[in-house]
Amino acid sequence: MSTVEVMPTISEKKAVPMARSRIRTPNWRGFMTVIGFFLLWEFLVRMEIAGFAQIPAPLTVVKVWFSDYITDPHYWTSWVTSFQRVLIGFVSAQLLGIPLGLLLGTRKRFNYLFYPVIELLRPIPPLAWVPLSILFWPTAELSIIFITFIGAFFIIVINVHDAVRSIHKEHLWLAQSMGASGAHIFRKIIVPSVIPSIAVGMTLGIAVTWNVVIAAEMIASDSGLGRLTWEGYVSHTGPVVVIGMISIGIAGYLSTLIVDWLEKRMMPWRTTR
């Protein structure tokens, strides 16, 4: 009997490179750049270059981290505390900011009434809300979460509002002429059009949220990575300050990875980077 060779179809041929493209190769160049940064830092400290003489060397920081912090429950509690504050503030900002941005972009009367208030409050830095939030909220924890919420709230509102206003009117008119209802237009045209702007707002918002929560912890908290860094500064312990800073950077990077994962789920039509 002769065997019959089954040729792969066109869709199967396309599926192979697509599957391979989803497997992200490690960024070795970026990894080597990070290693080079720490080696340069170590060299400048050892050579006592001006400005680096008082900065702890990376090896010193690593020794202190392994000896005093890696097994310290208080250190990991600081991680959990800061992550919880960022999570609550960031998610609250999305849950309130996205609907508000949609209302501001789709309802003219609502826009006329409330958009001037948004424009008045938006330029105020989040940290300027610290004294008022401490007076208003009954606990320091709630005040910090509120400040964290403010850091991401206006970013997502403005991004969604601008995305709705930038939708081509011709698309809406065409849908109306075809008999589409307002609810159908909202679901099929407006919402898909603002998803990229929501993703951008999330990316910007998570970075600002971490900046705000760290500063708020330094001012009005006795826990968190921000407080850990501040205690190192007050006690003139350079390695502790650097440990806090590196921990904040890693925590922010992990949060960005989570947001990137959510963006890919929100926009599956985009190719992976």
Location of structure tokens 């065997």:
3
Residue 11 resides in a domain: no
Comparing CA positions, the residue from 201, 189, 212, 211 lying closest to residue 262 is: 201
pLDDT, residue 247, reads: 92
By residue range, what is the domain housing residue 238?
Answer: 66-266
Residue at 35 is within a domain: no
Is residue 215 one of the residues assigned to a domain?
yes
Q: How is residue 60 written in tokens?
A: 């010193």
What is the pLDDT at residue 24? Answer: 58
Whole-number pLDDT of residue 167: 80
Whole-number pLDDT of residue 50: 77
Give the amino acid at 269.
Answer: W
**Dihedral in degrees, nearest 10, Cα atoms 152, 156, 162, 168:** 160
Q: Give the C-alpha distances (Å, rounded to integers) separating 151 from 24, 79, 134, 243.
A: 32, 19, 16, 24
94-112 pLDDT, tens digit each: 999 999 999 998 888 998 9
Q: What would you measure as the largest C-alpha separation in the chain, in angstroms?
A: 88
- Asked whether 244 and 236 are in contact (CB, 8 A), the reply is no
Structure tokens at 134: 């401490």
Q: Which residue, among 82, 91, 89, 88, has the nearest Cα to 247 in the 3D structure?
A: 82
Separation of first and last alpha carbons in the chain: 48
DSSP character at residue 223: S
> Does a structural domain hold residue 24?
no
* DSSP letter assigned to residue 48: T
Average pLDDT, whole number, for the chain? 83
Considering the domain boundaries, does residue 42 fall inside one?
Answer: no
Residue 162 located in a structural domain: yes
Domain count, the chain: 1
Counting as low any pLDDT under 50, the low residues of the chain are 1-23, 273
**Burial of residue 84, with CB atoms counted within 10 A of its CB: 0-12 exposed, 13-18 middle, 19 or more buried:** middle
Q: Nearest CA to 228 among 83, 125, 79, 70? A: 79
Instruction: Please indicate, yes or no, if residue 38 is contained in any of the structural domains.
Output: no
Tokens 């800073």 map to which residue?
Answer: 245
* Of 158, 273, 130, 109, the residue nearest 215 (C-alpha): 130
Residues 73, 42: Cα–Cα separation, whole Å: 29
Assign 3-state DSSP to the chain and report helix, strand, coil percentages, each to 5: 80, 0, 20
Q: What is residue 196's predicted lDDT score, i.e. its pLDDT?
A: 86
Residues written for the chain: 273
Q: Is residue 151 part of a domain?
A: yes
CATH number, residue 196: 1.10.3720.10
| Structure-token match 């960005």, residue found | 256
